[in-house]
Amino acid sequence: MAKNAHLTLDDRSTIEVSLREGDSFTDIGRELGKDPSTIAKEIKNHIQYSRSGSYNPCAKRANCS
């Protein structure tokens, strides 16, 4: 597995804020040093449609603080 392959909770929080500000996946990826497809996959896997329709950085995490 590549070094820094996983997104941290801080990365996920940055994604959440950036999405609310209307930033593109490319802009967010550039800010985090990640490929835009990584950002898109993260959002796809963790978006909460049933409640708010917004990205939740703690979704599917057992230990999130």
Per-residue pLDDT tens digits for 15-49: 989 998 999 999 999 999 999 999 999 888 877 65
Query: Which residue's entry shows tokens 């990640």?
Result: 34
pTM for the model stands at: 0.68
Residue bearing the bigger pLDDT, 58 or 2: 58
Mean pLDDT of 1-10: 71
Domain boundaries, the chain: 9-55
- What is the pLDDT confidence band of residue 3, given thresholds at 50, 70 and 90? low
Q: Where are the alpha helices (DSSP H) in 1-65?
A: 9-20, 25-32, 36-46
CB 9 within 8 A of CB 21: no
Residue bearing the bigger pLDDT, 3 or 27: 27
CB 28 within 8 A of CB 14: yes
What was the pLDDT predicted at 17?
Answer: 92
Q: In the numeric block, which tokens belong to residue 47?
A: 């978006």
Which one-letter amino acid corresponds to residue 60?
A: K
